[in-house]
Amino acid sequence: MSGGASESSSAAFCAELVRSHDFENYAATLFAPLRCRRALLALYAFNVEIAKVRQQITQPLAGEVRLQWWTDVLSGEGHGGVEGNPVAAELLLAIRDHGLPVERLSRLIEAHQFDLYNDPMPDMAALEQYLGDTSCALFSLSARIVGQESDAMDHLARHAGLARGIAQVIAMIGFDASRRQSFVPLQLLEQHGVDPEQVFAGHDTPALRAALRGLADGARSHLDKAIAMLPELPPEPRAVYLSLAMVRRALNDRVRADNDPFMPQPASRLRILWTLWRASRARPFRG
């Protein structure tokens, strides 16, 4: 296989991986500048690979090994396996072409080590640190690919990442509970009198709903701040924040009185595309 054909195959692999496992970000790339889409898909494919490690292992040690492999790839110690991994190959290309900071990518890997164990998320500060190295980092790195790098951009990425990350924590509570894992801060649960064992058993209680409403209120605050900052950006980088158009609706849906917080409610692909298309044509996402 020629080098060009191999690169094309790797890019297609990443696009399909993101389309299958992270459709919101896949859809957002359709509105991004064409010159940036390949690198964005490489970044999102890398994130998918790291985030799904927990689902692929039965023992934490196996997950540690997989995450270490990715750390070695970033440090140039890929042990000869990079050529056979299309996501790794595309990620290294994106790092080279767009100057992505390896240290930030390494911290994303390190943060996901938390996923491998059933330790509780202790408090809100710990959750924000985790999301800062994962969800917030993804927005920041995406913005760098589109060509926007500044302290203001990182500030926007932090609010955007916290809003989207907290919304995902609320949406995934049922799935996480089935693995006896909780990203809802233990301190918050205790403040509302929620026994973590009730969460793991899938018991919907008024106390749990109160805790989730508190989380949702915090996410809305971050979302409002991120949306308010968007008009300050040039038009092109706004596309990487289009997934925020899904966050407010998701937060409202998840904390409705008639909604079971443990039941998954994934948005259809058509709804995602429609929501992002409408957002792309309206302020504050439109230039």
Q: Which of 56, 83, 116 is the last residue of a domain?
A: 116
Spatial distance between the Cα atoms of 156 and 125, rounded to a whole number of angstroms? 19
DSSP readout, 194-252?
--HHHHHTT---HHHHHHHHHHHHHHHHHHHHHHHHGGGS-TGGGGGGGGGGGHHHHHH
Q: Which of 90, 116, 142 is the last residue of a domain?
A: 116
Spatial distance between the Cα atoms of 55 and 51, rounded to a whole number of angstroms? 9
Spatial distance between the Cα atoms of 63 and 50, rounded to a whole number of angstroms? 10
Split at pLDDT 50, 70, 90, the class of 1 is very low
pLDDT, residue 129, reads 98
The H or E element containing residue 270 is helix 269-280
Containing structural domain, residue 172: 118-287
Whole-angstrom Cα Rg for the chain: 19
**Residue 17: which residues within 8 A CB-CB, separation 6 or more?**
45, 48, 49, 87
Amino acid at 127: L
Quick one: tokens of 175?
């799935």
Residues 154 and 87 in one domain: no
Could you give the number of structural domains in the chain? 2
Residues 89 and 202 in one domain: no
Among the listed residues 41, 55, 28, 52, the one whose alpha carbon sits nearest the alpha carbon of residue 87: 41
Q: Is the pLDDT of residue 59 over 60?
A: yes
> Which residue shows structure tokens 């054909």?
5
What is the model's pTM? 0.94
> Which residue shows structure tokens 């110690």?
77
Cα 115 to Cα 78, 112, 180, 216, distances in angstroms: 23, 5, 11, 22
Residues 140 and 79 in one domain: no
Q: Which residue has the higher pLDDT, 17 or 8?
A: 17
Q: Which residue has the higher pLDDT, 161 or 82?
A: 161
pLDDT, residue 4, reads 57
Q: Is the pLDDT of residue 71 over 90?
A: yes
pLDDT, residue 287, reads 63
CATH number of the domain bearing residue 180: 1.10.600.10
Residues 184 and 279 in one domain: yes
Residues 125 and 52 in one domain: no
Quick one: tokens of 87?
């996501």
Answer yes or no: are the C-beta atoms of 247 and 219 closer than 8 Å: yes
Residues 131 and 110 in one domain: no
Residues 237 and 109 in one domain: no
pLDDT, residue 2, reads 45
Residues 128 and 270 in one domain: yes
Residues 59 and 168 in one domain: no
End-to-end Cα, the chain, rounded Å:
42
Digit-coded pLDDT (tens) for 111-143: 999 999 999 999 999 999 999 999 999 999 999
Residues 148 and 283 in one domain: yes
**Residue 22: which residues within 8 A CB-CB, separation 6 or more?**
44, 47, 48
Average pLDDT, the chain: 92
Residues 21 and 132 in one domain: no
Q: Which of 116, 136, 167 is the last residue of a domain?
A: 116
Spatial distance between the Cα atoms of 285 and 262, rounded to a whole number of angstroms? 32
Residues 207 and 275 in one domain: yes
